[in-house]
Amino acid sequence: MPAYRGQTPGQWRRCPSGAGHCPRLHRVVPARPTGGGVTRSLRMSSIPFTLAVSAEMVFLDLPFTERVRRIHELGFSAEIWSWANKDIAALAATGANFTSMTGYTHGNLTDANAIQHLLDSARESVAVAARLNCPSLNLHGTGLDDKGLPVNPVAHVNGRMWLSACKTLEKLARLGEEAGRVFLLENLNTEVDHPGTPFARAEDTLALIEAVGSPHLKMNLDLYHAQIGEGNLIELIQRSGSAIGEIQVADVPGRQEPGTGEIHYPAIARALFDMGYTGVVGLEGWASGNSEAALERFKKAFTLA
């Protein structure tokens, strides 16, 4: 759950003005440490957010565990996708701070049989998250293959699917509460990367999050996807407000680090800060060249002037 400024941990406050449809209260929790130190080459002291980097998309010349180790050495938190093909003990031994991971291995939110598979694999994922001390587990409307395409594409989401998704997410929120974790429902774009994915638009994920109304189910608001599918990013951020559990970023076009495309991320950073958000901002994008230089550009975009 993201931290907000102006309150001590354990206090409750209303959504910032203009920061969402719903005036419900949410509990303020401390931001997770970045793990940075004086020996790290990239300092985080002037940044109000916890900056994280997807190890799936940078330092591709390194074995996966070494990617995580390098991200950690540079002072960033790490994020991973599926845990099923990874050495969890080796990842834990890196000492990295993990902020999110994929919270299922198969299943979806629309088909009755697949829903049970989703719930079963979510329970397995929660156990892995505990081994990594990872607070958040990421979800999509359906599983994605290695090309990012939906395993179970849906041409039209009907009312029954909406009800099934809401009931399933309520169960996942209860699982998160029992385990002390937060499930994050990520928006995706269907125009370029993920055609046929149900509940892909940010407005869809927000509607589901608000319908469930649990602090253990939040949005993973991916601004790369939202720019392609919806745009108007600052108003989207303000409208989503306390439903946001994480912000993910990459530039458009190309899905590379901030500063390589059309999104003015310094303005995004200021808008997040002004509404009180100090939680995780994760880079889920490719490096346009050298990975370390890409991380430096990411850091610079979220350093407030």
Residue 163 counted as domain residue: yes
Active site residues: 186, 284
pLDDT at position 305, please? Answer: 81
Q: How far is Cα 216 from Cα 95, in angstroms, rounded to an integer?
A: 25
pLDDT at position 44, please? Answer: 47
* pLDDT of residue 27 exceeding 80: no
pLDDT at position 48, please? Answer: 96
Q: Which residues pair with 283 in a beta bridge?
A: 53, 249
Long-range contacts formed by 26-33: CB under 8 A, 24+ apart:
26/1, 26/215, 26/242, 27/1, 27/215, 28/3, 28/4, 29/1, 29/2, 29/3, 30/3, 31/2, 31/3, 31/278, 31/279, 32/77, 32/97, 32/99, 32/135, 32/280, 33/97
Residue 11 counted as domain residue: no
Contacts of 214 (CB under 8 A, 6+ apart): 170, 173, 174, 176, 177
Average pLDDT of the residues in 62-80: 99
CB 76 within 8 A of CB 295: yes
Residue 199 counted as domain residue: yes
Q: Which band of pLDDT confidence, cut at 50, 70 and 90, is reported for residue 23?
A: very low
CB 109 within 8 A of CB 115: yes
pLDDT at position 150, please? Answer: 87
Average pLDDT of the residues in 209-235: 98
Average pLDDT of the residues in 96-102: 99
* pLDDT of residue 220 exceeding 60: yes
Residue 167 counted as domain residue: yes
The SS3 of residue 87 is coil
pTM: 0.85
> Please, what is the average pLDDT of the chain?
89
Of the two residues 13 and 144, the one the predictor is more confident about is 144
Q: Which band of pLDDT confidence, cut at 50, 70 and 90, is reported for residue 143?
A: confident
Contacts of 184 (CB under 8 A, 6+ apart): 100, 103, 136, 137, 138, 139, 217, 218, 219, 220, 245, 246
Give, as one character, the DSSP assignment of residue 151: S
* pLDDT of residue 16 exceeding 60: no
Residue 36 counted as domain residue: no
pLDDT at position 4, please? Answer: 52
pLDDT at position 3, please? Answer: 57
pLDDT at position 175, please? Answer: 99
Q: Mean pLDDT check: name the lowest of 139-148, 158-167, 240-249, 267-276.
A: 139-148
Q: How far is Cα 267 from Cα 261, in angstroms, rounded to an integer?
A: 14
CB 301 within 8 A of CB 266: yes
pLDDT at position 84, please? Answer: 96
Q: Which band of pLDDT confidence, cut at 50, 70 and 90, is reported for residue 39?
A: very low
Contacts of 20 (CB under 8 A, 6+ apart): 238, 239, 240, 241, 242, 243
Q: 174 lies in which domain range?
A: 48-301
- CATH number of the domain bearing residue 257: 3.20.20.150
CB 141 within 8 A of CB 165: yes
Residue 8 counted as domain residue: no
Average pLDDT of the residues in 274-279: 97
| pLDDT tens per residue across span 149-202 | 888 889 899 999 999 999 999 999 999 999 999 999 999 999 999 999 999 999
Q: What is the 3-state composition of the chain as percent helix, strand, coil, each rounded to the nearest 5?
A: 35, 15, 50
Identify which of 148, 144, 55 has the alpha carbon closest to the alpha carbon of residue 105: 144
pLDDT at position 236, please? Answer: 98
Q: Is the sign of the CA dihedral 164, 281, 64, 137 positive or negative?
A: negative
Tell me: cis bond preceding 215? Omega within 30 of 0 counts.
no
CB 138 within 8 A of CB 186: yes
Average pLDDT of the residues in 248-263: 99
* pLDDT of residue 6 exceeding 60: no
* pLDDT of residue 269 exceeding 50: yes
Residue 202 counted as domain residue: yes
Query: Structural domain tally of the chain?
Result: 1
Residue 244 counted as domain residue: yes
Tokens linked to 160: 């029954």
Helix (H) or strand (E) holding 249: strand 244-249
